[in-house]
Amino acid sequence: MLDIKFIRENKEKVEENIRKKFQDKKLPLVTEVIELDETYRSLKVEGDNLRQERNTTSTEIGSLMREGKKDEAEKKKARVVEINEKLKEIEEKEEELSKTIKEKMMMIPNMIADDVPIGEDDSKNVDEQHFGDPVVPDFEVPYHADIMASFGGLDKDAAGRVSGNGFYYLMGDIARLHSAVLAYARDFMIDKGFTYCIPPFMIHGDAVDGVMSFEEKENMMYKIQGEDLYLIGTSEHSMIAKFKDQILKESDLPITMTSYSPCFRKEVGSHGIEERGIYRIHQFEKQEMVVLCKPEDSEEWYNKMWNYSVELFRSLDIPVRKLVCCSGDLADLKYRSCDIEAWSPRQKKYFEVCSCSNLTDAQARRLAIRYKKENGEKELVHTLNNTVIAPPRMLIAFLENNLCADGSVKIPKVLQPYMGGKEKIEKK
């Protein structure tokens, strides 16, 4: 969410930013917010003037009563009653206007970085950098669900009977591998100085509104019937909301956390749920990295965070590339974002495994997360997030890139301690 003062003083810039994101239907919101804010500020002035008059009049009543001028005092008392009634009416209008302004402002997208490529959708994302040489083996790489099934490690049929489409059972070595990569990712981030956290897996509606746009909320979040609780779509949601309404010490920044959670997503949209495999599903587990920092440090942290993803995947012998997200592919709260995509030898192309984002102060303004400077001033923090590892999706990249001709899967050295020392897993 943008600062109302910024919107007032930079109307054309805000409108141009909306055009860059190809959201022209939101252009009227800018004028509406400015006009509503003008009305709101006028009401505030009117209310302040009436309060001042009430205070003066109340003082005069006391003087008149002491002087025995009861008739004049009664007239003044009547005026105070009149002022109170008017103030009640004004305050009700202020509250209603404030709510309307906030709702409209929350639909106006955050300003994007000047160097974000302009494009309507993810087809215009920019392939910026490659890490590791993509290899296509001289044997056929099966579909990932078939690789898992060859180890007795996947059962979607049973999950369909129990839970429906978009769910799965992982078993045996595949389930162990799933847990191993999460444990490795946890320790990888702890070694980078991040604090390990396990957050709540359900959060209140105001926390959801603080961390994501209304459209994302509608398409992603599962609501608990009859309660003000939502299942999280990523631990970023509860980790950022942890600091709601807090004033942090400048000396405590940056706050760097790595969090584990299950994630639940409705996955409403054109992409839909994958029928056979586990690439797009309703439930998965993820290790996340989250940073709260001073505004001047957020771009440095953004670059550190996506580089951590590259380092981690390369340590697992998986080639990756950095894909810069274009304007139309940025969620409303994002200032900039990039995807780290892993190489798929079977498909002979890359696919997303991590998403790193700098949201500047958009979430912090919604959630009122500030820090106190040494000079006593309070300023909004900047928030960033990035996927560390999100199995079972990343298992697709792991299995395809570490598959051997005999159907076994080699275990990279860094992961072997988490797999009981195994150097490979064998087909059943």
How do residues 205-264 score in pLDDT, each as one tens digit? Answer: 999 999 988 888 888 899 999 999 999 999 999 999 999 999 999 999 999 999 999 999
- In whole angstroms, give the CA distance from residue 420 to residue 424: 11
Tell whether the model's pLDDT for residue 269 goes beyond 80.
no
pLDDT in the model for residue 273: 60
Helix 393-401, helix 172-191: angle, nearest 10: 100
- In whole angstroms, give the CA distance from residue 179 to residue 167: 17
Tell me, what DSSP letter sits at residue 242?
Answer: T
Least confident window among 22-26, 28-32, 191-195, 275-279: 275-279
Exposure string over 366-398, b if 16+ CB within 10 A, otherwise e? bbebbbeeeeeeeebbbbbbbbbbbbbbbbbbb
Residues 6+ apart with CB under 8 A from 150: 142, 407, 427, 428
Lookup: tokens for 356 = 């790193």
- In whole angstroms, give the CA distance from residue 424 to residue 402: 9
Torsion, Cα 264 275 139 182, to 10 degrees, reads 10
Paired with 291 in beta bridges are: 256, 384
Domain boundaries, the chain: 4-105, 122-425
CATH number for domain 122-425, candidates 3.10.290.10, 3.30.930.10, 3.40.1640.10, 3.40.309.10:
3.30.930.10
Mean pLDDT of all residues in 97-102: 95
3-state DSSP call for residue 260? strand
Exposure string over 132-170, b if 16+ CB within 10 A, otherwise e? bebeeeeeebbebbebbbbbebbbbeebeeeeeebbbeb
How do residues 341-364 score in pLDDT, each as one tens digit? Answer: 999 999 999 999 999 999 999 999
How do residues 104-117 score in pLDDT, each as one tens digit? Answer: 999 999 999 999 99
State the chain's maximal CA–CA distance in angstroms.
107
Query: Contact 120/132 with Cβ under 8 angstroms?
Result: no
Query: Contact 94/47 with Cβ under 8 angstroms?
Result: yes
Residues 6+ apart with CB under 8 A from 29: 104, 105, 107, 108
Residue 25, Cβ density class (10 Å: 0-12 exposed, 13-18 middle, ≥19 buried): exposed
How do residues 303-341 score in pLDDT, each as one tens digit? Answer: 999 999 999 999 999 999 999 999 999 999 999 999 999
Split at pLDDT 50, 70, 90, the class of 271 is: low
pLDDT in the model for residue 36: 97
pLDDT in the model for residue 73: 87
Strands (E), 106-192: 126-131, 154-155, 169-170
Higher pLDDT, 299 or 393: 299
The CA-to-CA distance between both ends of the chain, in Å, stands at: 53
3-state DSSP call for residue 101? helix
4-105 is a CATH 1.10.287.40 domain: yes
Give the whole-number percent of the chain exceeding pLDDT 70.
Answer: 98
Tell me, what DSSP letter sits at residue 283?
Answer: E
How do residues 47-81 score in pLDDT, each as one tens digit? Answer: 999 999 999 998 898 888 888 888 888 899 999 99
Give the whole-number percent of the chain exceeding pLDDT 90.
Answer: 88
Tell me, what DSSP letter sits at residue 384?
Answer: E
Helix 298-315, helix 172-191: angle, nearest 10: 140
